[in-house]
Structure 1
Amino acid sequence: MPARTLGRSGVPVTALGFGAAAIAGLYEEVGDDDAAATVEAAWDAGVRYFDTAPHYGIGRSERRLGAALRTRNRDSYTLSTKVGRVLDPYDGGGDDLAHGFAVPATHRRRWDFSADGVRRSLEDSLTRLGTDRVDLVLLHDPDEHEEQVFREAYPALEELRSQGMVRAIGAGMNQSRMLTRFLTDTDVDAVLCAGRYTLLEQGALETLLPAAVAAGRSVIVGGVFNSGLLADPAPGATYDYAPASGEVLRRAERLREATEAHGVPLRRAALRFPFGHPAVASVLVGARSADQVRDAVAQYRGHLPGALWDGLRARGLLGGGVPAPGGYGA
């Protein structure tokens, strides 16, 4: 599978990356064996970039991913995790479904974008992952903590990078504005933009992606299915982690009609779409089973006729200036 380098960091990422939220029980329980088999299928398909976070299953994603990769040569893959939520032990019982994960509520999340919080979060992640290093560390969802992040958290990451503790740094969010600020006002290597550059919506094309190109930095795209809507636009589908509105659902249904008119599954067009922009280094795909991994890889490698994009533009579903990818993935 082809790989690109994140900015000027020297850190490689494969075109498809593995997003490890789902194996932590996102929305529904996933067993240990199924989680391990899912990571194994990604490896067998040539995926060598794996992304996780303390938030995912309150540590379960990191533990499972670390266990699944433990026998692999550490220099043969790229690993990223996130900082900003510190996990404190909790013995009150219950589950974590209020945060979207079908796991026991063994810990509570606490926002902490202080310099000490960044360091503690990374140390805890290394313990859960069972490794001595990660390659990329991302500030996770700092939407409500903007000034503290730029004043305390980002400088702490820059220091960790200068000390060689991490190889690349950045931020991961579901918005474009603050990510653009990271690209223009700091020396991040990459940003992870979830849900804002998809076949359904291209808000990141206004400022974020041009800023990345101008700065020579990379964008990792997550949420290409907009929380599942573009994988299967049916009543009850989710968009931005909540039930999709009627208007959004109808637009997704129109996209499906347009892609299927060219013999292309909607999920293939959605998965491949971000690769049309030169700033995009990798697309993260979340999967909870080996079959889902294999399907994602098949869609990435499948054919996309050029007439597909012309058809979407003719139907008013894609702007004339929006770049489109070529016919085949590698």
Structure 2
Amino acid sequence: MSAGGGSSGDSGAASGTRVAGSTAVGDAFGLGCAPIGNLYRPLADDDAVATVERALERGIRFFDTAPHYGAGASEQRLGRAIAGVDRDAVVIATKVGRRVVDADGAAVPVGGIGTDTVADLSRDGILRSLEGSLRRLGTDRVDLLHLHDPHHDVDGALRTAVPALVELRDQGVVRSIGVGIGWSAPLARFVREAPVDVVMIAGRMTLIDRTAEDELLPDAIRHGVGVIAAGVFNSGVLADPVGAPYFDYKPASDEQVERALRLQRACAAYGVALPHAAARFPLRREPVEAVVVGARTPAEVDDFVDGASVEIPDALWQELERG
């Protein structure tokens, strides 16, 4: 896989943004950078940088961030970590559609760090957001630019935000454009109605939630749109059903926990860790091109990279498919 651009309907390497890298893990996995933006708990700058550096050492070349992650902190830390790295050797994805604001709700200076973000799907908001991201990342271009979670106003996003994304792609400021949402139905609308290259689905292409298979994946295949899977642990229950029993950032239901425990027991019978199977499961579906896995520490990076090469028998996959 390699970084690529092009409009919906292109074929081969130009269909969507492929993940750059010469190793198997570099081809299939990207580092989700929400955790280094203080997701759940604060993280020191140096620790965040060390996590990204470890990902680079282990062959990860695709990095997914957003202004929303730490109100700019994730982008700034990622930019610091990749400074000096050959820009053509990495694929950077970030997002637009939210404005970084300070504690009083006022927009921060372009490229600044704030305390929160608010929705802004206007053309001016899109352009300003990208300008701020480029400054924080310390780069002159973005390989993949997603519209960030516009499920609350799909019609408005199609009317104002998508044309701005297309303009940026046409100008060469970004190579590919997409949309990232945690719900399949609104994301499928963008696949059908917008000239996107790739979409990111969070939490709906997992071992316990496969709703992306109902509409999104078939539509993506028909329209030649690539799919990136994120949220593969459903906020924690598929990483550690007992220690992190969360689903979509809320306490998981008893049924969800029991299902995850059943999957965990099935994996254990074959000597496989549940999160390793959960991270690789989406890659068994077309047209999923890559999986984004969040990590807060170098040890967490090592774990998911090591899991990418663990042998998973067909018999286990068949059992996991049955749920």
**Is residue 238 of structure 1 aligned with residue 251 of structure 2?**
no
Q: Deviations over 1:72-113 (max 9, x none)?
A: 011111101001110123369xxxxxxxxxxxx943322110
The corresponding residue for 1:88 is: 101
Conserved in 1, the CA contact under 8 Å of 2:236 and 2:244?
no
Conserved in 2, the CA contact under 8 Å of 1:134 and 1:166?
yes
**Is residue 299 of structure 1 aligned with residue 307 of structure 2?**
yes
Distance 2:57 2:181 in 1: 29
Decide whether aligned partners of structure 1 residues 225 and 280 sit closer, same or farther in structure 2, where only a CA change above 3 A counts.
same
The corresponding residue for 2:35 is: 22
**Is residue 33 of structure 1 aligned with residue 46 of structure 2?**
yes
The corresponding residue for 2:18 is: 12
Unaligned runs of 5+ in 2: 20-26, 106-112
Conserved in 2, the CA contact under 8 Å of 1:268 and 1:299?
yes
2:60 match: secondary structure? coil
TM-score of the two chains, using structure 2 as the length reference: 0.89
Decide whether aligned partners of structure 1 residues 187 and 15 sit closer, same or farther in structure 2, where only a CA change above 3 A counts.
same
Distance 1:263 1:287 in 2: 23
TM-score of the two chains, using structure 1 as the length reference: 0.87
The corresponding residue for 1:182 is: 190
Conserved in 2, the CA contact under 8 Å of 1:91 and 1:106?
no
The corresponding residue for 2:293 is: 285
Give the letter for the 1:52 counterpart. T
1:170 match: secondary structure? strand
Distance 2:301 2:200 in 1: 20
2:234 match: secondary structure? coil
Conserved in 2, the CA contact under 8 Å of 1:3 and 1:15?
no
Distance 2:74 2:319 in 1: 40
Instruction: Name whichever structure is richer in helix by fraction.
Output: 2
The corresponding residue for 1:310 is: 318
The 10-residue stretch of structure 1 (253-262 or 184-193) with the greater mean CA deviation from structure 2: 253-262
The corresponding residue for 1:320 is: none
The 10-residue stretch of structure 1 (275-284 or 233-242) with the greater mean CA deviation from structure 2: 233-242
Distance 1:63 1:76 in 2: 19
Distance 2:139 2:3 in 1: 24
The corresponding residue for 1:154 is: 162
Q: Deviations over 1:11-52 (max 9, x none)?
A: 431310011000111111211221111101111111111010
Distance 2:319 2:15 in 1: 38
Q: What's the CA shift for 1:312? A: 3.2
Q: Deviations over 1:172-199 (max 9, x none)?
A: 0101111111111111000000000001
Distance 2:214 2:123 in 1: 32
Q: CA RMSD in A?
A: 1.8
Give the letter for the 2:93 counterpart. S
Distance 2:244 2:276 in 1: 21
Conserved in 1, the CA contact under 8 Å of 2:229 and 2:290?
yes
The 10-residue stretch of structure 1 (147-156 or 177-186) with the greater mean CA deviation from structure 2: 177-186
How many residues of Structure 1 are paired with residues of Structure 2 in the alignment?
A: 302
Unaligned runs of 5+ in 1: 93-104, 318-330
Decide whether aligned partners of structure 1 residues 39 and 225 sit closer, same or farther in structure 2, where only a CA change above 3 A counts.
same
2:69 match: secondary structure? coil
Q: What's the CA shift for 1:4? A: 7.7
Q: Report 1:65-214 matches (<5 A).
A: 65-90=78-103, 106-214=114-222
The corresponding residue for 2:283 is: 275
Moved over 4 A (4+): 2-7
Q: Deviations over 1:139-186 (max 9, x none)?
A: 101011211100000011011111111110010010111111111111
Q: Deviations over 1:306-327 (max 9, x none)?
A: 11023335xx41xxxxxxxxxx
Percent pairwise identity: 49
Conserved in 2, the CA contact under 8 Å of 1:136 and 1:166?
yes
Conserved in 2, the CA contact under 8 Å of 1:40 and 1:68?
yes
Decide whether aligned partners of structure 1 residues 200 and 73 sit closer, same or farther in structure 2, where only a CA change above 3 A counts.
same
Give the letter for the 2:164 counterpart. A
